[in-house]
A and B are shown apart, each in its own frame.
Chain A
Amino acid sequence: MNAAWMAYLGATILGEIVLPLAPAATSLIDSAVLVVALTHFGWAQRSPIAVGDPTIRLLPALALLPLMRLLSLTLPVPDIAPIGWLALMAAPLLLAVVAGARLTHLDVTEMALARVSRDGVSILMVAGSVPAGIALGWLAPSQLGPRSESPMAFAATAAILVAGAVIPEELVFRGLLQPLLVDLIGRAAPVVVAVAFAATYVGARSPLVVLLMGGIGLLYGWEVMRSGSLWPAIVGHAVLLLSGVFLAPQLA
């Protein structure tokens, strides 16, 4: 069973890599097949021992990655700006995270949500997300900015970015996948999660963006492991994204 999660993760990463190269349908079919396959882990749950098997627990959490891509390819509708697509995705994504956490028996402590870290390293990481976000905004100009200059448009855009992208992504990658992978491969888990996180940015068509997000994913993963708190990663990711969308165009 140990090779199974690697094969599924490899296929998920492959689906992300083909997204900018082949018609989106290729990536979508890969995602749909993976979602169906990964949600069939019930077949393996034949005995109480299998229920506690870390690989069995990991598979439904892995299903969230192709599910994210499936939703991002199917939910966007014409006449709505890309920021609106994120708003449409927020509810199903959060629903998937809750169902995944319930199924894998992860509680808020294991998901590192019970503790709030405010030490110097956490604050430094959050502060460092500002220049990283500006660099991201310069390397890949955002298509998620507000449509008007009004404060309400800025506030709504910021709220959608946090609720539709930051929170679901952090919960999936560092909240669910990382603790389940730690059970399997120990301290190497943040590296694997960072690779999967970086792969979702291949669609940016910029190797520098993929490298930057891989590094940021590794830093956030390490911080979650060090502090036992997901909150610095959530706040850091929010600062990163908001800096990229709002600050980078002003400073360009």
Chain B
Amino acid sequence: MTSTINRSLVDYLISTDYDAISTTVGLAAVVALLVLLVEREAVRAYGGDRARRWIHGLDVAVLPLLVSFATIILLRLLQLLPDA
């Protein structure tokens, strides 16, 4: 039992089909990441000190979400590889 993994979360993730999770929970996370990435690039185009600080602010969420996204893609690829 931790702050991140609790009974409600485990029950939900075990009882729900992974495809259903991907198209609801996963989709919301991907949309959030896309919004942040698009904004990061738009802000970078302006340049300057304020834009730099703003990008650092966005990076607090962008970097962990990108690592998570890469992890999920890697794990899915590993699942698919034996079938290839």
Contacts and interface: CB of A to CB of B under 8 A. Distances in A.
Instruction: Classify chain A: how many residues form its interface, as a range.
Output: 35 or more
A204 B1 contact: yes
Interface in A33-53: 33, 35-36, 39-43, 45-46, 51
B7 A143 contact: yes
B25 interface: yes
Contact of A41 (B2, B6, B16, B57): B57
Contacts of A200: 3-4, 6
A39 to B, nearest CB: 5
Interface residues of B, number: 45
Contacts of B57: 39-42, 60, 103
Nearest to B30: A74
B9 A96 contact: no
A70 B5 contact: no
B4 A95 contact: no
Interface stretch (A17-25, A116-124, A179-187): A17-25
Contacts, number: 177
Contacts of B42: none
Interface string A68-90: 11111111111110100110110
Contact of A91 (B10, B50, B59, B67): B67
A63 B61 contact: yes
A86 B5 contact: yes
Interface in B70-84: 71-72, 75-76, 79
A241 interface: yes
Contact of A205 (B2, B7, B59): B7
Contacts of A32: 28-29, 31-32
A74 B26 contact: yes
Contact of B10 (A67, A82, A161, A241): A82
B8 A205 contact: yes
A226 to B, nearest CB: 23
A209 interface: yes
Contact of A73 (B25, B63, B65, B67): B25
Contacts of A45: 50, 53-54
Contacts of A88: 68, 71
Most buried by A among B7, B18, B61: B61
Nearest to A206: B7
Interface of B: 1-10, 12-13, 16, 18, 24-26, 28-29, 31-32, 35-36, 43, 50, 53-65, 67-68, 71-72, 75-76, 79
